[in-house]
Structure 1
Amino acid sequence: MHIGGEWVDSDDRYELISPATEEVFATAAKGGTGHADAAVAAASRAFEEGTWRNTPPLERAAVLDRVIAAVTARMDEFTEIGVRECGFPQRLSQAICVGFPLAHMQHYADLTRTYAWERPGPVTGMVLSTQLVRREPIGVCVGIVPWNFPLIIAVWKTFPALAAGNSVVLKVDEKTPVAALEMAAILRDAGLPAGAFNVVTGDGETVGAHLVRHPDVRKVSFTGSTAVGRQVMRDASDTIKKVTLELGGKGPNIVLDDADLDAAVDGSIYAFLLHAGQACESGTRLLLPSSLHDEFVERLTARLKTLKVGDPFDPATDIGPVMSAVQRDRILGYIESGKQEGATVAHGGGTPQGPGYEKGFWVEPTVFTGVRNDMCIAREEIFGPVLSVISYDSVDEAVKIANDTEYGLSAGVWSQDVPRALEVAGRLQAGSVWINDWHNISQHMPFGGFKQSGVGRELGADALDDFTEQKAITIDLTGRVDRRAYGLVLGTPPNA
């Protein structure tokens, strides 16, 4: 772990297992609540000392620039970390574990330079005064990062917090700590003061929960399941912490009857199969007009047969393994549930067989047809390569089905008539709606969910708002006691 600018070990270990081979490729320290307390104490000291929070924004941005340069110089290494830790196919790892994080890092560095840290108010009032509003750092910010996209989500938790002058404690998932620990070393070498950024490991139920409840933590940013997000919100409420929650999803992907089918078929596969479906904003419910249903499913399953599932180090591989045996068995349980509820397996439905699949955590890309929106596979987040196809007869019915969920993270619309697609998009209850695309998470656009998919937003032009507090300062301009409002309480002095 990295605490107070130092590497800190522990007596216990995690074994890090390759999802593709089940081989132990590294070990990592297993932290406990004592390490969490030490990290918060280090972050608190750094914040109180004020070296980082009082560093001018342009200088903070320069530190972030040096981090960007260092990660760029190690692209191949971070790509390999993604393949080994997460099972990303190699070309996907290069994008998800290097390309996107770098773009988002640069966005936060640029925001640090341009953000309105202070803005003037008007000259106002019955009592002549002027005002200004300052954006100031909150204090100790905790980021809790899941295993599916460990580096890019670590960037979302870390860079805006540091850009705003806060101190950070990052709690990484025990299965994927390597990239964040490498980033700790890079931040230190780039000139970040000791204690401003700390990385701890540990089980979520103990270390993560302890950090959320810690009285010296002022902000928690959590990405994970909706069930855990509810508990984070409850625990954070005891000390009225600011929270950002990016939680689960069950993205509806609506194909309209005038869609470009070639693009929509490939896009719908991309929507549910990126990282073997292990993305909260995946398009896992495919809504097809009855008139196109059979043709679309035929095209989709034919295209799936061309994809290579296998060794993530093979450049030809399209789909890698899922993260763990627990994850694999959970997904297979949902597939069995879909069969029992009466849905039809149009493709996949099990684990791939043959050479290369003897070890590793594999699930076939699986497509169900004949799905009703009240089925378990259509309502619960499976977090795997499983697609539920639902037929509809009118656009109004499609919108009703799409919104009939506790989630509201992502949605998509496919149409060659953009104004028509925009009209449908405006009716969808989702934080991100993609038209003729999916997974296009731009650093310039806010990302987060409606309903039980979360609270707050990451990325976008306002990304630093949730990591700052507003302070209103009012300056009297009268220069005289008798022109202020004191007479509302204080009577005329006896000798006046």
Structure 2
Amino acid sequence: MQIHQLFIDGAWTPAETGATIEITNPANAQTIGRVARGSAADVDRAVAAAAAAFPAWSRLTATRRADHLYALNRLIERDHERLAGLITAEMGKPLREARAEVDFAIGLIRFAAENTRRLQGEIIPGARDDEKILIDRVPHGVVGGIAAWNFPFALCARKIAPAIAAGNTIVVKPHELTPLSGLALAGLIAEAGLPRGVVNIVTGDGPEVGVPLVAHPDVRLITMTGSTPAGKKIMEAAAKHLKEVRLELGGKAPFLVMEDADLDAAVEAAVTARFANAGQVCTCNERTYVHEAVYDRFAEALRERIAALRVGDPTDPNTDIGPKVSAAELDKVHAMVERAAAQGARVELGGHRLTGGDFDRGQYYAPTLLTGVTQEMDVVHDEIFGPVLPLLKVRDFDEALERANDCRYGLSAYLFTRDIARIMRVGRELNFGEIYINRGAGEEPQGFHHGYGESGLGGEDGQHGLEAYVQPKTIYLNA
């Protein structure tokens, strides 16, 4: 079986120790590849290559950097189906969702390319005769990127594209469960002709690759997508060298349905926002609050819609939900459901691992609906990250807002209502970084994906996300 090597300084190279990691398909437990198991020594080599490439790359004009990104996008478009298949094989999401992930990556890269010339500075009048004060925008240097497993291709693109568009170079660590699509992106980067060392990919686990990457003194900016506990450890490690840190972490999105909502649209959005990617999305609908006046109608329609979801082979076009990414993740979700039941919730649908036939070889969990849920239960406060929907009843909009904000996370939230006054209030009173009103989930490349509280620091995408990859430099200009 082929061993996929590290991508360092424009070349494929084995890990210094020669060790490898086996990658398995969560749908059937088949081994689909082996990747090099990197170490601190490999991180050192990658950072050195990125540092060496930085001066020349940062001096390229913005348009020339953009041309490299456009060339990369053309190759991704050419290999669209191959890349989607690879995402499905290593991560387990249905193929149509994997295709959407590739499309999202293309959009992220396109936005970065289009906006390289929009990283603008300022000119301010000076305090002396003929003086001007220039505020320039300059790249940080070497960026360290750490990607999560739930969007293995798009998250690598989300780190790489704005970093190099802004003139930085980068070392990326894909997640050890899903490194193959990140390595495939590296292959296209090489084919697109990007200079050696601008992008480097080091595979391996957190302690052996992630920790030394964060701790490396020559890495000036860390951008990470992952769990909140991991993000806190990264922030602590980065403090030693006062690195800039941008963390996209967990979420516990409230989904608010008021009595004047379009219930058909709300039900469809609630299901899509909960069960897409088997619930393994940080913006997922993690707790659904419904006005008591429409609760019964909504609950019945919701139950019917969830019961109709098809779980199975993610390569089957009729499949709605594929497997969880790993046995450990499946066990974690099931333990949360059992805990909710022990605390008094009713398992209306699902609540168990799927077994029998092809299910025995994969990590499949039944789509689950919990009712009788109260605000004090653990399932309302802890991130589920799986196909489990807790349903709660509220008296009015004020109670919905209060319960939604009773949360240590602050990434995404949803509201379905026709009342403009309520819509205006959520902008002031709902403490989440992005709010979807009368629509389902899905951030856009031109938006700004960011959270409050334990959902992280900084953010990704759009002009605000791109500007995170440059830093101001003030010049007092006198003749």
Q: TM-score range by the shorter chain?
A: over 0.9
**Distance (whole Å) between structure 2 residues aligned to residue 32 and residue 283 of structure 1:** 37
Alignment of 1:80-479 (within 5 A): 80-96=85-101, 98-116=102-120, 118-122=121-125, 124-476=126-478
SS at match of 1:457: coil
SS at match of 2:365: coil
SS at match of 2:144: strand
Shift of 1:460: 1.5
On the 8 A contact 2:28/2:358 being kept in 1, the answer is: no
User: Given the alignment of the two structures, is residue 73 of structure 1 paired with residue 78 of structure 2, yes or no?
Assistant: yes
**Distance (whole Å) between structure 1 residues aligned to residue 367 and residue 14 of structure 2:** 40
> How many residues are paired up?
472
Shift of 1:127: 4.7
**Distance (whole Å) between structure 1 residues aligned to residue 369 and residue 427 of structure 2:** 25
SS at match of 2:357: coil
Shift of 1:6: 1.3
In structure 1, the residue matched to 2:26 is: 19
Shift of 1:418: 4.1
User: Given the alignment of the two structures, is residue 43 of structure 1 paired with residue 55 of structure 2, yes or no?
Assistant: no
On the 8 A contact 1:52/1:192 being kept in 2, the answer is: no
On the 8 A contact 2:370/2:391 being kept in 1, the answer is: yes
Shift of 1:452: 1.1
Q: TM-score, normalised by structure 1?
A: 0.93
SS at match of 1:273: helix
* Counterpart residue type for residue 62 of structure 1: D
Shift of 1:245: 0.4
SS at match of 2:251: coil
On the 8 A contact 2:124/2:134 being kept in 1, the answer is: yes
- CA RMSD after TM alignment: 1.3
Q: Deviations over 1:368-392 (max 9, x none)?
A: 1111222111111111111111111
**Distance (whole Å) between structure 2 residues aligned to residue 349 and residue 418 of structure 1:** 38
**Distance (whole Å) between structure 2 residues aligned to residue 296 and residue 195 of structure 1:** 54
SS at match of 1:462: helix
Shift of 1:203: 1.1
In structure 2, the residue matched to 1:8 is: 13
User: Quick check: which has more Rg, 1 or 2?
Assistant: 1
**Distance (whole Å) between structure 2 residues aligned to residue 126 and residue 357 of structure 1:** 75
Question: Which 4+ runs in 1 deviate beyond 2 A?
Answer: 118-122, 352-356, 416-426
Identical aligned residues as a percent: 37
- Structure 2 unaligned segments of length 5 or more: list them: 1-5
SS at match of 1:157: helix
Q: Which moved more, 1:62-71 or 1:187-196?
A: 187-196
**Distance (whole Å) between structure 2 residues aligned to residue 421 and residue 125 of structure 1:** 46
User: Given the alignment of the two structures, is residue 28 of structure 1 paired with residue 30 of structure 2, yes or no?
Assistant: no
**Distance (whole Å) between structure 2 residues aligned to residue 5 and residue 221 of structure 1:** 22
Q: Deviations over 1:326-363 (max 9, x none)?
A: 11111111111111111111111112244331210011
* Counterpart residue type for residue 113 of structure 1: R
SS at match of 1:447: coil
On the 8 A contact 1:246/1:455 being kept in 2, the answer is: yes
**Distance (whole Å) between structure 1 residues aligned to residue 366 and residue 200 of structure 2:** 38
Q: Deviations over 1:92-111 (max 9, x none)?
A: 11101x11111111111101
**Distance (whole Å) between structure 1 residues aligned to residue 95 and residue 290 of structure 2:** 32
- Structure 1 unaligned segments of length 5 or more: list them: 478-496
On the 8 A contact 2:83/2:184 being kept in 1, the answer is: no
Q: Deviations over 1:154-173 (max 9, x none)?
A: 11111111001111000111
**Distance (whole Å) between structure 2 residues aligned to residue 256 and residue 160 of structure 1:** 38
